[in-house]
Structure 1
Amino acid sequence: MLIHYKCPDCGSDMKFDSESGKLACDSCGREDNIDTYPKEFMSQEFAEGEAVEYHCKNCGAIVLTDADTVATTCCFCGAGVVLADRLSGNLAPLKVIPFTISKEQAENAFVAWCRKGLLTPKGFMTADRIKSITGMYVPFWLYDLRSKGEADAVCTRVRTYSQGDYNYTETSYYDVYRKVDLQYLKVPVDASEKMDDQLMDKLEPYDYRNLKDFNTPYLAGYIAEKYNYDDKELFPRVRSRVDTYVESYIKSTINGYASTSFRRKNIDTKPLNAYYTLIPVWMVSYDYDKKEHIFAMNGQTGKIVGKPPISSGKVAAWFTGVAGVTFITIKTIAWLMGGGI
């Protein structure tokens, strides 16, 4: 079932507005709260065949989607549509973080980010080759976890002292034991096979104070996909990640020793809850030097991640400058020590 959100005043398409947090009509300016939008103005079109072909009720064009799409736009009239039949049952998201950054704000922020690249080519810094900026909701699982950890370690303290004509080094050994019981809330892991996991990880953190109960109008005007991996399939990944947090925490509690050698570490992480959540991301496609560079922006905070091209000339100049400063510094110190002043 394909859903359009129609303006009760003028009949135009409405979409979610990131600034107001409401359904908005660009034609007449009407705004509606997500929870109070009149359901009778939802235009619905049922799918044909295997639920991959829909008809846009605005212009009659066929809307083709792949099997993972849950929200998109008509490529002919631009209407934002939601594929509600792919958001039901166990595919229904529990939570959503709405977009708070508009497309215009995302583009301006990306241009400013490009211009700050000290080691990127000048042609890239102009930021005039943006091919597309696409707002999409990426499927994530947010995990609540409990981790219990135990560790045995041998630690040392070293004391040096002099007695008579001799210098002594005294090493004391200590058995150290740690036991921790920790909880981690809403640890995010992306559940889309199309997205780069490392890129998505770097978009953190998120402000969960703006976490909302899912409602389909949040998707109007954006692209969204359903998850490819369920919470059980992704649990080994989040467990590995959290285990490193626990290990780091245990190490941080052992202070004041010259050395620490662990004899045994045991970490047991178990899931408490998992929330299927849609996270807002602006995907930026940038064409530079006959290559397409992909960047991602957190649609809530504006944080940008990706690998920009590097100018070999700027890198060489930077290292030359660093080496020059180092040489001047050493030479000056040597001159001062030689009695130059």
Structure 2
Amino acid sequence: MPVIDYKCPNCGSSMLFDSATGALSCPSCGRQDNIEQLPDPLKKQVFTENEVQQYHCPSCGADIVTEPETSAMTCSFCGSAVVLGDRLVGDLAPDLVIPFAISKAQAEEAFRKWCRNGLLTPAGFMSADRIKSITGIYVPFWLYELHNMVEVYANATRVRSYTQGDYQYTETRHFDVYRKLRLDYVNLPLDASEKMNDELMDKLEPFPYEQLKEFKTPYLAGYIAEKYSYDDEQLVPRAKDKTQPYIDSSVSQSLSGYSSVSYRDKQVNTTVSRTDYALLPVWIVNYDFGQKNYMFAMNGQTGKVVGKPPLSKGKITAWFAGITAVSLIGVKVISWALGGGFL
């Protein structure tokens, strides 16, 4: 059966993953099952490619209509949590998962608190309930282990000025510099979903990788899950680009102590030693304000919120005016302290 749901053995209700306890929980009778001790039904089933064309909810029998990338969802008719098993096997089978640690209610409250802290947002930004939707999504990520061998050839100088007798001297020493560095990166995350905004997903970092667990389908119960749009090889160029600023910073630190550095050649040889396919928890918030829709993302483990809220032109003008006024007062105070005047 390609559609998997979890029925409570006590009362028959649909069981959901509980972010507070980390267990598979029944909202009706309160039963809780330890996910680590549950057998994963995916390992008992065999699917062939393109075997399934239609999905039906095991609880109510309704047709399940979903996008091709979705692998877990809730039935729009009865609300049962369902997992589309054939989209999580073979090459599409995740290796790891970080479960949600923040509930939907906690995510909504954290988002409201974050909005209230916006000093430059419009006054009415949080005056009404404008949250259109808040959705828990397991976003597909590739976690890369990269090894970088870096070789740098550069010309550098050290400049020293000193006074001897009535003369001031400037001494410039020139150096031929060579550096060889090995820079390793573990669990470098890249979201692999075409739907997700890469900039938002990058800003959600860091995820607590000590919370990584072996993937089991019960963690998805009650949430939406996406399967990857890009495989790990397709995202290697992005992984290299993402590490480049850190490589540049490490090279720069290794050449500190010189007055100037001019690079002749810099070679970076990157080897991908391992990739893991992981599902990471993200709350997506759609917010309506000023007849526009704004999307925000929240790390489902840490509560970190990212996104671009609307800004108040009036508050921005007042803020700059305040900064200017403070600067002028500071100049005036310094002028008086030095015995001068201020016009």
Shared fold per TM-score greater than 0.5: yes
Q: What is the CA distance between 1:253 and its match in structure 2? A: 1.5
Partner of 2:7: 6
Residue 331 of structure 2 aligns with which residue?
330
Match of 1:28, SS state, is coil
Following TM superposition, by how much is the alpha carbon of 1:245 offset from its aligned partner in structure 2, in angstroms?
1.8
Counterpart CA distance in 2 for 1:51 and 1:75 is: 20
1:163 is matched with 164
Deviations 1:106-151 (A, max 9, x none): 0010000000001111111446211110000000100011110011
Q: Could you tell me which residue of structure 2 aligns to residue 21 of structure 1?
A: 22
**Aligned letter for 1:198?**
E
Check conservation: 1:97, 1:279, Cα contact below 8 A. Answer: yes
Contact preservation (8 Å) 2:16, 2:222: yes
Q: Distance in 2 between matches of 1:205 and 1:154?
A: 37
Deviations 1:264-303 (A, max 9, x none): 1111111000101101000000000000000000001111
Residues of 1 paired with 2:38 and 2:228: CA distance?
27
Q: How many residues of Structure 1 are paired with residues of Structure 2 in the alignment?
A: 335
Give the conservation status (yes or no) of the 8 Å contact 1:6–1:12: yes
For 2:26, the aligned partner's letter is C
1:91 corresponding residue in structure 2: 92
1:243 and 1:267 in contact (8 A); partners too: no
1:67 positional shift: 1.0
- Partner secondary structure for residue 64 of structure 1: coil
Q: Assess, with a 3 A threshold, how the Cα gap between structure 1 residues 260 and 94 changes in structure 2: closer, same or farther.
A: same
Q: Percent identity?
A: 59
| Distance in 2 separating the partners of 1:125 and 1:153 | 54
The reply to whether residue 258 of structure 1 matches residue 263 of structure 2 is no
Q: Does 1:240 align with 2:241?
A: yes
1:30 paired residue number? 31
Give the distance between the partners of 2:305 and 2:340, measured in 1 at CA. 52
- For residues 194-222 of structure 1, the C-alpha deviation after alignment (integer angstroms, 9 at most, x for no partner) is 10111100010011111011111111100
Deviations 1:47-81 (A, max 9, x none): xx973532212222211011111001111111110
Q: Secondary structure at the match of 1:231?
A: coil
Match of 2:130 in 1: 129
1:76 counterpart SS class: coil
Structure 1 residue 336: Cα displacement: 2.2
Residue ranges of structure 1 left out of the alignment (5+ in a row) = none
Structure 2 equivalent of residue 178 of structure 1: 179
Going from structure 1 to structure 2, the CA distance change for 1:35 and 1:160 (only over 3 Å counts) comes to closer
Residue type at the aligned position of 2:19? S
Please state whether the residue corresponding to 1:287 is helix, strand or coil.
strand
Counterpart of 1:276? 277
Q: C-alpha root-mean-square deviation of aligned residues, in Å?
A: 1.9
1:116-155 aligned within 5 A = 116-126=117-127, 128-155=129-156
- In structure 2, the gaps of 5 or more residues are none
Does the 8 A contact of 1:124 with 1:288 survive in 2?
yes
Of Structure 1 and Structure 2, which has the larger fraction of its residues in strand?
1
1:86, 1:314 → 2: CA distance?
Answer: 49
CA displacement, residues 219-266 of structure 1 (integer Å, 9 cap, x when unaligned)? 110001110100000111101222332221111122222112111111
Superposed displacement of residue 182, structure 1: 2.1
Separation of aligned partners in 1, 2:254 and 2:199: 29
One-letter code aligned to 1:222: Y
What's the counterpart of residue 113 of structure 1? Answer: 114
How far is the alpha carbon of 1:157 from its aligned partner? 1.5
TM-score, normalised with respect to structure 2: 0.93
Give the residue type in structure 1 aligned to 2:287.
Y
Contact 2:141 2:192 in 1 (8 A): yes
